[in-house]
Structure 1
Amino acid sequence: MNIILFDGKEYSDLLPLTFTRPVAELRMGILTFAERWKLIFQTEKISYLTQRYLSEKYTLQNEEENVFINPAYFPNQDFIYQLKNLKFGEAFYYQEELVAAKTTLENFQLNNFVKKIDITFESFHIQYPWDLFTYNSDAITYDFQLITQGRKSCTLSNTVKIIGDPSQLFVEEGAVAECAILNTKEGPIYLGKNSEIMEGAMIRGSFALGTGSKINMGAKVYGGTTVGPYSKVGGEVNNIIILGYSNKGHDGFVGNSVIGEWCNLGADTNSSNLKNNYAEVKLWNYKKQKFIKSGLQFAGMIMGDHSKSAINTQFNTGTVVGVSANIFTSGFPPNIIKSFSWGGKSESPNFKLEQAYEVAERTMKRRGIELSEQDKKIIEYIYNNYQ
Structure 2
Amino acid sequence: MRIALFEDRIASENFAPIALLRPAFELLCGQFSARERCMRFLPVTDWGAFLRSELVDVYQEENPDSHVNDLDWLRLAPTLFINGRWLADPAALGECDPDTAGIIDGHVAYLTLEPSDVSRLTGDSVDVVLMEIARERRRVKAPGFLAQYPWDLVHHNSVQLKADFALRRFGTSKVGQLGPQVAIVGDPNQIYIAPSSSIDPFVVIDSRKGPVTIEDDCLIQAFTRLEGPCHVGRGSQLFRANVREGTSIGPICRVGGEIEGSILHGYVNKYHDGFLGHSYICPWVNLGAMTTNSDLKNDYSPVKIPLRGESINSGELKVGCFIGDHTKTAIGSLFNTGSSIGVMCLVLPDGELLPKHIPSFSRIWHGDLIDGLALDAGLSTARYAMERRNIELTDAQEQLLRTIHADSQLERERAIERFFARSNFANG
TM-score by length of 2: 0.84
Question: Aligned runs of 1:17-28 on 2, under 5 Å?
Answer: 17-28=18-29
What is the alpha-carbon distance in structure 1 between the residues aligned to residue 195 and residue 47 of structure 2? 26
Contact conserved, 2:209 with 2:227, CA < 8 A, in 1?
Answer: yes
> Larger deviation: 56-65 or 176-185?
56-65
Identity of aligned residues (%): 29
Q: 1:49 to 1:240 in 2, by over 3 A?
A: same
**What does residue 162 of structure 2 align with?**
141
| Aligned partner of 2:111 among 101, 106, 122 | 101
Contact conserved, 1:189 with 1:205, CA < 8 A, in 2?
Answer: yes
What is the alpha-carbon distance in structure 2 between the residues aligned to residue 77 and residue 146 of structure 1? 7
Question: Aligned runs of 1:154-233 on 2, under 5 Å?
Answer: 154-155=174-175, 156-158=177-179, 159-179=181-201, 180-216=203-239, 218-233=240-255
SS in 2 for 1:55: helix
Q: 1:92 to 1:108 in 2, by over 3 A?
A: farther
What is the alpha-carbon distance in structure 1 between the residues aligned to residue 89 and residue 161 of structure 2? 13
Matched, 1:67 2:80: yes
Matched, 1:291 2:311: yes
**What does residue 41 of structure 1 align with?**
42
| Aligned partner of 1:262 among 271, 275, 284 | 284
Q: 1:201 to 1:82 in 2, by over 3 A?
A: closer
**What does residue 89 of structure 2 align with?**
76
What is the alpha-carbon distance in structure 1 between the residues aligned to residue 90 and residue 386 of structure 2? 38
SS in 1 for 2:164: helix
Deviation of the 1:285 alpha carbon: 1.7
What is the alpha-carbon distance in structure 2 between the residues aligned to residue 313 and residue 329 of structure 1? 6
Deviation of the 1:227 alpha carbon: 0.6
**What does residue 362 of structure 2 align with?**
341
What is the alpha-carbon distance in structure 2 between the residues aligned to residue 77 and residue 300 of structure 1? 27
Contact conserved, 1:107 with 1:113, CA < 8 A, in 2?
Answer: no
Match for 1:341: what amino acid? Answer: S
**What does residue 306 of structure 1 align with?**
326
Match for 1:97: what amino acid? Answer: H
Q: 1:237 to 1:249 in 2, by over 3 A?
A: same
String of CA shifts for 1:346-365, please: whole Å, max 9, x gaps. Answer: 63123122112111101111
**What does residue 418 of structure 2 align with?**
none
What is the alpha-carbon distance in structure 1 between the residues aligned to residue 15 and residue 106 of structure 2? 20
Contact conserved, 2:88 with 2:160, CA < 8 A, in 1?
Answer: no
Match for 1:310: what amino acid? Answer: A
TM-score by length of 1: 0.93
Deviation of the 1:93 alpha carbon: 3.2
String of CA shifts for 1:73-107, please: whole Å, max 9, x gaps. Answer: 11336743442x314xx644333312222223434
Deviation of the 1:280 alpha carbon: 1.0
**What does residue 238 of structure 1 align with?**
260
Deviation of the 1:171 alpha carbon: 1.2
What is the alpha-carbon distance in structure 1 between the residues aligned to residue 270 and residue 403 of structure 2? 28
What is the alpha-carbon distance in structure 2 between the residues aligned to residue 291 and residue 44 of structure 1? 43
String of CA shifts for 1:218-245, please: whole Å, max 9, x gaps. Answer: 2211000011000011011111100000
Matched, 1:9 2:37: no
Contact conserved, 2:42 with 2:94, CA < 8 A, in 1?
Answer: no
- Structure having the higher helix fraction is 2
Count of aligned pairs: 380
Match for 2:406: what amino acid? Answer: N
What is the alpha-carbon distance in structure 1 between the residues aligned to residue 284 and residue 354 of structure 2? 20
What is the alpha-carbon distance in structure 2 between the residues aligned to residue 236 and residue 113 of structure 1? 48
**What does residue 295 of structure 2 align with?**
273
Contact conserved, 1:307 with 1:322, CA < 8 A, in 2?
Answer: yes
Q: Which runs of 5+ in 1 are unaligned?
A: none
**What does residue 30 of structure 1 align with?**
31
Q: Which has the larger radius of gyration?
A: 2
Deviation of the 1:337 alpha carbon: 0.4
Contact conserved, 2:233 with 2:250, CA < 8 A, in 1?
Answer: yes
What is the alpha-carbon distance in structure 2 between the residues aligned to residue 44 and residue 229 of structure 1? 26
